[in-house]
Every structure is written in C-alpha cells, then in structure tokens.
Amino acid sequence: MASIVVGIVLIAVIALVIRSMVRDKKNGKSLQCGGDCSKCGGHCH
C-alpha cells in the first residue's frame, strides 16, 4: 500500500514539473536561459 501512495505522489510531482515546463514554453521562456537574454548573451531574440 505504501508503495502505491509513493508512486502516486511521484507521478503527481512529475506531472506538475512537465506542466510548468509546457507553460514556460508557451510563455516564450527558453529551457536554456529562462527567457532572460542578459544571462545567455542575447541569443533568445
């Protein structure tokens, strides 16, 4: 029973991370530099 609960929690955390990454991508943020071009040398735009 405990392993099922841990599995469900793990799946929920992974789903939240993926949702956050998709949301950032839709908002134009890059996974490499976070959308802050001053930190990546201006390669974003």
Residue spans of the domains in the chain: they are 1-45
Q: In whole angstroms, what is the distance from residue 40 CA to residue 29 CA?
A: 12
Q: Give me the DSSP letters along 6-37.
A: HHHHHHHHHHHHHHHHHHHHHTT--TTTTT-T
Q: In whole angstroms, what is the distance from residue 32 CA to residue 42 CA?
A: 12
In degrees to the nearest 10, what's the CA dihedral of 27, 30, 18, 6? -130
pLDDT at 35: 57
Q: In whole angstroms, what is the distance from residue 26 CA to residue 18 CA?
A: 12
pLDDT at 32: 62
pLDDT in tens, 1-45: 999 999 999 999 999 999 998 887 777 766 665 556 666 655 555
